[in-house]
Chain A
Amino acid sequence: MAQTRSNLFNNLIAQFDTPWKRCAAFAVILALLLVAPISLGPYATVILTNALLYVVLALGLNVVVGYAGLLDLGYAAFFAVGAYTVGILTHTFGFNFWLTLPVAVGAAVVAGVVIGTPTLRLRSDYLAIVTLGFGEIVRFTARNLDITGGASGISGIQQPWLFGWHINTPFEFYYVFVVLAVIAVIVSVRLQHSRLGRAWLYVRHDEDAAEAMGIDTVRVKLAAYVIGAIFGSIGGAFFAVNLGAISPESFSFQQSVLILMAVILGGMGKIPGVILGAFIVVLAPELLRDMGEFRLLLFAVGLLLVMLFRPSGIWPARGK
């Protein structure tokens, strides 16, 4: 019973999986995203903006977990690095937001290299532990430094100007995040179909064979880790200016788990799956809001069912 239903679902997905239909589906989704705020109103727009942020974050973590097969349990740390870099530089030192973006990217690269270089030489289990620790270290550091505003964080972060356009309403930020998400998708697709993208899969499937083919596995894994970090940092940077306030609790272990859940839920390594996962992780708790206290319970049961019946995700990578 479950088997036939699962096959039906696979067939349904296969229908949408030809290149032409995929492009058409992409265009339809993009059109829907563009008109969504007009028809749905401000509250839904804020929620959708959050979903788009998660698309960016999940696609970044997907490079690390889905492509290179490295379990990262502290991804929110890079999200925090981007948010705090922008928060501190714009609010405390008065820099222009757009000038701080490259700094945020640079900070993520440095953090990624510092954490990744020693640990990526080890088995990936160790990476999970180190990243878990790193995530907590970043949060505790942010909580205890003066420059990061301690436990209350930084508030009053200026919203950015772009060529005379002051991006300051939820609707405007929504479109900024649409652009970010589209860029994240394009970058993901291009990476996936590149020499580096293939190398990630080789390393994930058989590290020894990949080495024997002349692939520097440590370097390739570090590239995945750092690219994931950059996605996270950029997401964090825009998160900071969108909300105008950041605090250490936005970058908790739970945040890392939620992003990881988006990646695993939708189907690791598959871009449409990861996007779907990001939307589910943000929208499901909202849609279940009427359930009151039970909503998180229902959400958890739903997740368990997905893991039981579709262990490789709702929309898995090719093959099973």
Chain B
Amino acid sequence: MSMSNPLLALRGVNLSFAGNTVLDNVDFSVGRGVIASLIGPNGAGKTSLFNCITGFYKPQSGSIKVDDQELLGLKPHRVTQAGIARTFQNVRLFQQMTVLENVMSGSHCRSKAGAIAAILGLPSQRREEADIRAHAIECLAFVGIADEMDRDATNLAYGHQRRVEIARALATRPKLLLLDEPAAGLNAGEKADLLTLIGRIRDELGISVLLIEHDTGMVMKISERITVLDHGVVIAEGAPKEVQANPKVIEAYLGQEDGEDLL
């Protein structure tokens, strides 16, 4: 991991809505092959930061680069093409479609057959369709739910829906995977499985992972780097141990009424 040339680099990102500052001059980076976490109290701007990286929000100023390619101002689908995939805080699968069809959506930006090729049923189009299908099944097998591929995606158990979402993101062949609260709503056993899965995504697929997570126990266990955001400002960054001991971080968390426990 060389910090001089990170995979994702944000410099001076400012975002505000109607005069309310959401992100204030955020500098932030994710190295290659790293599992990193973004934490902070509710309303700190974590999901907003994700939305800036993925092109859903357009920051007023700053720079967001992946592999030295500027992402700022790109539409979300171009960001995905550039190698950043995401999941959503509240699972957003395509309804009335099977698990397999859901995951096949991830291959769209890595394939090219158009209407004419499909109408004529050209050999190249048939081959591409078979590849898309095979790749989707591979991704489903990787997250461990290939046997459910023909089921209606929204009829799956919640934990499995989350895995479909991860498989769908993996199908876009990303360099960096952004997971927005992947453990929310999961039980202890499912959380343990998720930890293993995130580890395997990095180790076996070589994909860097950045997650937003409220389960701090999980964050401390899995992350190599942690960035703490509070009121749109980065207040700490470093290894779990350093962040844990940082007085600013303790204050940010203690100052909160619902008192999420960091330690």
Contact of B172 among A194, A198, A208, A214 (CB under 8 A): A214
- Selected interface stretch from A86-94, A154-162, A199-207: A199-207
A191 interfacial contact with B, CB 8 Å: yes
Interfacial residues of chain B within 122-154, with CB under 8 A of chain A in the complex:
125, 128-129, 132, 152
Cβ of B56 to closest chain A Cβ, rounded Å: 7
B32 interfacial contact with A, CB 8 Å: no
> Which chain A residue has the least Cβ–Cβ distance from B171?
A213
- Selected interface stretch from B80-88, B188-196, B216-224: B80-88
Question: Do A215 and B77 have beta carbons less than 8 Å apart?
Answer: yes
Question: Do A319 and B88 have beta carbons less than 8 Å apart?
Answer: no
A14 interfacial contact with B, CB 8 Å: no
Question: Do B118 and A213 have beta carbons less than 8 Å apart?
Answer: no
Interface 0/1 of A100-114, CB less than 8 Å to B: 000000000000000
Question: Do B172 and A213 have beta carbons less than 8 Å apart?
Answer: yes
Given A199-B108, A211-B76, A214-B108; A194-B92 close (CB under 8 Å):
no
Q: How far is the CA of A228 from the CA of B110 in the complex (A)?
A: 26
B109 interfacial contact with A, CB 8 Å: yes
A147 interfacial contact with B, CB 8 Å: no
Given A213-B168, A215-B105; A205-B75 close (CB under 8 Å):
no
- Interface SS majority for chain A: helix
Question: Do A216 and B75 have beta carbons less than 8 Å apart?
Answer: yes
B234 interfacial contact with A, CB 8 Å: no
Interface 0/1 of A2-24, CB less than 8 Å to B: 00000000000000000000000
Residue of B94, B111, B121 with most partner-chain A CB within 10 A:
B94
Interface 0/1 of B84-108, CB less than 8 Å to A: 0110100011111100010011111
Chain A residues within 8 Å of B106, by CB: 213-214
Question: Do B109 and A213 have beta carbons less than 8 Å apart?
Answer: yes
A289 interfacial contact with B, CB 8 Å: no
B1 interfacial contact with A, CB 8 Å: no
Given A209-B88, A212-B76, A213-B106; A198-B96 close (CB under 8 Å):
no
Q: How far is the CA of A18 from the CA of B154 in the complex (A)?
A: 23
Question: Do A195 and B109 have beta carbons less than 8 Å apart?
Answer: no
Question: Do A211 and B77 have beta carbons less than 8 Å apart?
Answer: yes
Q: How far is the CA of A247 from the CA of B117 in the complex (A)?
A: 36
Q: How far is the CA of A194 from the CA of B119 in the complex (A)?
A: 9
Q: How far is the CA of A211 from the CA of B81 in the complex (A)?
A: 10
Contact of A223 among B94, B104, B115, B121 (CB under 8 A): B115
Q: How far is the CA of A193 from the CA of B152 in the complex (A)?
A: 17
Question: Do A195 and B121 have beta carbons less than 8 Å apart?
Answer: no
Known pairs A205-B95, A215-B108, A319-B152; list 4 more (Cβ under 8 Å).
Answer: A190-B121, A193-B118, A208-B76, A213-B172
